[in-house]
Amino acid sequence: MSTLAPYGLNKLMLIRNNIRSVRKESKLKLVVVSTWLTIFLSVGCWFFLFAFNFLYNFPVGDLLAIRVLALFFLTLFAMLMFSNILVAFSTMYKSSETDFLFSLPMEDKEIFLCRFAETLAYSSWAFIFLGIPLMVSYGVVFRVKWYFYPALPLFFLPFVVIAGMLGALLIMVMVRLFPKMNLKVVAGLIGALGFGFAYFLFRSFKVARISQLDALDRILSALKTTQSPFFPSHWVNEGLLAAGAGDLRESAFYLGLLLSNALMITMVSLWLAGFLYHKGWTGLRGFSLTHYYPAGKGPLNRIEAILGSLRTPTRALVMKDLRMFWRDPSQWAQFTLFFGLLIVYVSNLYNYEKYIGPEWQTRIAFLNLGAAALVLSVLTTRFVFPLFSLEGKRFWIVGLAPVRRSRLLIQKFFLSIATTLIFTEALMIVSSIALNLSKTVTLVCCATMFLMNFSMAGLAVGLGSMYPNFKDDNPARIVSGLGGTLNFILSMLYVAAIVLLEGIVFWEYTERAKTGWLVAFLRMDFHTAILFAFALVLAISVFTTVVPMYLGIKNVNRLEF
């Protein structure tokens, strides 16, 4: 593989130049991003420290903590695999760099290895970054040996490679087997794997009669299903626990097991890439050139007919974005997977509604609101933020149209809201019914989610137009930049502020009405305090919607092409 060295050196030079270019960025922007990244890690560590301290003081907390880590690694493995499947489709088959590499005198397995390395980097860094607070917090609370911390990267690397190779291998086989099949159906099959995993978790943790004395035994039995010796998640969990306990011999055994399997699946994937990758790539290109819908047929044409009341320029811009989204299965398959997991989560609430007391209903309601809002922030960051950048070098065509640039951003803003509002509001209503919440809590949660859709869309569209990246056509690469990171951080901070603001009011007035400090401070009755809190939420939401959109429109009007 003589061509891999020049390719690797070229990528290293690009990374070095990108790092050097950071010095040209605004110092204020760098300080803000660094500060909020530090805050995010600190808050994550604090949360997990609180959770593990609770387990540490529990009678069988050490056993529960081990099972929770096993569940974490199993879920992480599944998410890494699904993420690599979806990102690999764009990076290995749809990227213009792939077309360029196939024009060079390189072997198919060399090209596969080059594109896989980039796929792994884009699809895995966020999951590892989010796992750092959890693992460090576990080590601090349970006072593990110092071997535990250097063992983390040693175990994570082969673990990530195994998940990534399985995902890349699956998409490579599917593209080769179904070259004449609608790629949206192929992506739907990939999404079905995600629903299958979610259903496995749902069945595993369906604990009946939780109010009985055997509830703890049932929970431990449910968590035991995540500890199959055939799962790579079990190997990394047992290896890290052994390192934390000082048993280096057992830890080395599981590390060797991970490394050997990572090398084996890499060799199998390279062997299959020798006669699957290029044929799948060429078959995909031939299929995309011959597939078409007759005039007036197909789901998108029907949507266009429904939007007939819109003005022609706006309708054309909306349909352009919808067609770009629909023609990339890796985009809408992720969208479907996110909301599919939320649906499984909400449906599981019906199993526990009759076993939780009134004091827990409000807590779970706001935790549910926070979970749905965090998923919404991920979706807007992943799909809405890169919309303006995906105009790419063809933006001058839109610039020649008799449409103001501000309308372009406003159109993307309302398109985002129209897409996410239906799903999020439906989930909030269904979850409120499942928890048997009061009308007041249901109304507040639904109204808050309504405002969050506007704020998330305003942040994503505004920041996406303030920090555009017209050089890349891969949404995952666009989101991985500084602007996408800033958008995600601000979205999470907004969600935390809103949920805490309303949650504290409900907590103080419903559960600590006589001793709560907020009751004494505000000197208001319950409904007045709720209206006051919601007015603050409305003010924050309007600010996070209007200001980013104003700055984004101002920046777009200054752009020259």
Min mean pLDDT across 145-154, 351-360, 546-555 is at 351-360
Least confident of 161-170, 190-199, 240-249, 494-503: 190-199
Report, as an integer, the average pLDDT of 134-142.
85
Residue 538 has pLDDT above 80, yes or no: yes
Using alpha carbons only, give the angle 331, 335, 341 rounded to the nearest 5 degrees: 145
**Separation of alpha carbons 240 and 149, rounded Å:** 9
Q: Answer whether residue 429 shows pLDDT above 80.
A: yes
d(CA 13, CA 8): 9
At residue 290, the pLDDT reads: 42
What's the per-residue H, E or C state across 290-344?
HCCCCCCCCHHHHHHHHHHHCCHHHHHHHHHHHHHHHCCHHHHHHHHHHHHHHHH
Per-residue pLDDT at 516? 58
User: What pTM does this model have?
Assistant: 0.58
Q: Is the pLDDT of residue 446 over 70?
A: yes
* Alpha helices by DSSP H, 142-247: 148-177, 183-204, 215-224, 232-245
pLDDT at 292: 46
The whole-number pLDDT of residue 547 equals 92
Which residue, 235, 93, 100, 227, is CA-closest to 162?
235
For residue 425, what is the DSSP state? H
CA-to-CA distance for 545 and 230, rounded, in angstroms?
A: 48
Distance CA(218)–CA(205), nearest Å, equals 9
Top-confidence range, 55-69, 226-240, 488-502: 488-502
The mean pLDDT of 85-110, rounded to a whole number, is 80
Question: 377 with 456: CB under 8 angstroms?
Answer: yes
Residue 293 has pLDDT above 50, yes or no: no
Closest CA to 430 of 413, 449, 417: 449
The pLDDT-based confidence of 188 (bands split at 50, 70, 90) is: low
**pLDDT for residue 256:** 93
221-241: pLDDT as tens digits = 555 556 677 788 888 988 988
Q: Which two tokens stand for residue 464?
A: 């996406």
State the pLDDT confidence band at 344, using cuts at 50, 70 and 90. Answer: low
Least confident of 275-279, 333-337, 384-388, 391-395: 333-337
- pLDDT at residue 489, rounded to an integer: 84
* Domain ranges, ordered by start, for the chain: 26-291, 294-327, 333-561
Query: Distance between CA 70 and CA 485 in Å, rounded?
Result: 29
What percentage of the chain carries pLDDT values higher than 90? 9
User: C-alpha distances in angstroms, 349 versus 205, 425, 523, 538?
Assistant: 11, 17, 35, 29
170 has a pLDDT exceeding 70:
yes
Q: Token pair 């919607």 is at which residue?
A: 545
- Lowest-pLDDT range of 98-102, 276-280, 400-404: 400-404
Cα-Cα-Cα-Cα torsion 428, 430, 435, 440, nearest 10 degrees, comes to 50
Look at residue 177 and tell me whether its pLDDT is greater than 80. no
- For residue 356, give the nearest of 435, 427, 431 by alpha carbon: 435
pLDDT at 212 over 50: no
136 against 185, higher pLDDT: 136
Exposure on the CB side of residue 412, measured as CA atoms within 13 A: 31
- For residue 181, what pLDDT is reported? 46
> Given a cut of 70, is residue 389 above it in pLDDT?
yes
Task: State the Cα–Cα distance between residues 492 and 425, nearest whole angstrom.
Answer: 19
Per-residue pLDDT at 312 exceeds 70: no
Residue 111 clears pLDDT 80, i.e. is over it: yes
**Residue 191 near residue 336 (C-beta atoms within 8 A):** yes
CA distance 561 to 556: 11
Q: Confidence class of residue 209 from pLDDT cuts 50, 70 and 90? A: very low
What are the Cα distances from residue 501, in Å, to 42, 457, 534?
20, 21, 9
Predicted confidence at residue 454, as pLDDT, reads 93
* Interatomic CA distance for residues 16 and 224, integer angstroms: 45
- Sort residue 523 into left (φ over 0), alpha (ψ -120 to 50) or beta: left
Q: What is the DSSP string of 108-153?
A: HHHHHHHHHHHHHHHHHHHHHHHHHHHHHHHHHHTT--TTHHHHHH
Nearest-angstrom CA–CA distance, 356 and 360: 6
Comparing 476 with 169, which gets the higher pLDDT?
A: 169
How sure is the predictor about 200, in pLDDT bands with cuts at 50, 70 and 90? low
- What are 109's two structure tokens? 């397995």
Please give the mean pLDDT across all residues of the chain.
75
Residue 257: pLDDT above 60?
A: yes
The one-letter code for the residue type at 105 is P
170-184, 185-199, 438-452, 476-490: which range is least confident on average?
A: 185-199
Q: What type of residue sits at position 462? A: G
Share of the chain above pLDDT 70, in %: 68
Let me know if 312 is exposed, middle or buried by CB neighbors in 10 A (0-12, 13-18, 19+). Answer: exposed
